[in-house]
A and B are shown apart, each in its own frame.
Chain A
Amino acid sequence: MRKFRFMAPAMVAVLVLAACGNGDDPGDGDGEVAEGDGAIVVTSLWGGTEQEAFEAVLAAFTEETGIEAEYEANRTDYETVLRTRIQGGNPPDVAIIPGIGNVRSLARDGSLIPMSELGIAQSDIEGNYAPGILDVGVVDDELYGIMVKLNSKSTIFYSPERFAEMGVEPATTWDELVQLTEDIKAAGSTPWAIGAGADSEWTLTDWFEVTYLKMHGTEAYDALFSPDGDWTDQTVVDTISKVLEIVNEDNVAGGINGALQTAFVDAVGLVFGSSPSAELYYGGGFVGGIATGEDVNPELQGQEGEAIDWFDFPTIDGNGAGLVTYGGDVMAALVADSDVAEFMEYLTTAEAGQVWAEGGTIISPIVEVDTSVYPTVLIQQEAEQVTSAEAVRFDGADLMPPEPSLGFLLQDAIRGEDLGALLEEFQTQMSNAWAQE
Chain B
Amino acid sequence: MAVGTPPGAVAPQPQRAKVAGAGFSWAAALFLAPATFLLAVFLVFPAVYTVFLSFNRGRGGQFTEWVGFDNFLRLFTQDPNFLRLGFPPSGALWNNLLWLIVYTSLCVLFGLIIAVMATRVRYEALIKGIVFLPMAIAPAAIAIMWRFVYASDSNTGLLNALLGNVGAGPISLLGNPDTVNWAVIAVGIWGSVGFATVILSAAIKGISSEVLEAARMDGASETQIFWRVIVPMVSLPISVVAVTLVVNVIKLFDLIYVMTSGGPGTSSRVIAFSMYVDAFESGLYGYGAAIAIVMLALLIPIMAFNVKRFRTEAVQQ
Contact = CB atoms under 8 A, between A and B. Distances in A.
Nearest to B284: A436
A261 B283 contact: no
Nearest to B44: A14
A23 B62 CA distance: 8
Contacts of B66: none
B283 A109 contact: yes
B63 interface: yes
B282 interface: yes
A17 interface: yes
Interface hub of B48, B81, B152, B171 (most chain A Cβ within 10 A): B152
Interface in A421-436: 425, 428-429, 432, 436
Interface in B210-246: none
B171 to A, nearest CB: 8
B60 interface: yes
Given A14-B40, A108-B59, A429-B80, A411 B280 contact: no
A394 B265 CA distance: 24
Nearest to B268: A198
A261 B282 contact: no
A258 B174 CA distance: 11
Contact of A10 (B44, B80, B260): B44
A434 to B, nearest CB: 14
A17 B45 contact: yes
A199 B263 CA distance: 9
B261 A199 contact: yes
A271 to B, nearest CB: 16
B172 A402 contact: no
B51 to A, nearest CB: 10
Interface stretch (A83-91, A212-220, A335-343, A348-356): A83-91
A134 B276 CA distance: 32
A80 B74 CA distance: 23
B312 interface: no
B283 A408 contact: no
Most buried by B among A84, A198, A436: A198
B119 interface: no
Interface in B151-170: 151-153
B48 A106 contact: no
B280 A84 contact: yes
B8 interface: no
A99 to B, nearest CB: 10
Contacts of A109: 59-60, 283
A177 B252 CA distance: 46
27 contacts: A10-B40, A11-B48, A15-B52, A18-B52, A79-B282, A80-B276, A80-B280, A105-B282, A106-B283, A109-B59, A254-B152, A257-B171, A257-B172, A258-B153, A258-B172, A260-B175, A261-B152, A403-B278, A404-B81, A405-B265, A408-B265, A411-B265, A412-B265, A425-B80, A428-B78, A429-B78, A436-B284
8 smallest beta-carbon distances between A and B, as pairs:
A408-B265, A257-B172, A261-B175, A109-B60, A87-B61, A80-B280, A260-B175, A198-B263
Given A258-B172, A415-B264, 10 more contacts: A10-B44, A11-B48, A15-B48, A18-B49, A23-B62, A105-B283, A108-B59, A109-B59, A198-B264, A428-B78
